[in-house]
Amino acid sequence: MADVFSQLYIHLVFAPKHRHSLIHHSWEEDLYRYITGVVQTRGHKLLAIGGMPDHIHIFLGLKPAESISDLVREIKVASNDFIRNERLTTIKFDWQHGYGVFSHSRSQLDAVCKYILNQKEHHRRKTFKEEFLKFCEDFGIDIGKKQFFEWFENEA
Homologous superfamily (CATH) of 9-138 is Transposase IS200-like (3.30.70.1290)
Residues 59 and 39: their CA atoms lie apart, in Å, by: 10
> From first to last of its 156 residues, what are the pLDDT tens digits of the chain?
677 788 899 999 999 987 788 999 999 999 999 999 999 999 999 999 999 999 999 999 999 999 999 999 999 999 999 999 999 998 889 999 889 999 999 999 999 999 999 988 878 888 877 888 787 788 888 776 556 555 544 444
Q: Among residues 30, 19, 42, which one has the least CA distance to residue 95?
A: 19
Residues 80 and 84: their CA atoms lie apart, in Å, by: 6
List, in sequence order, the alpha helices (H) in 12-67.
Answer: 28-41
Domain boundaries, the chain: 9-138
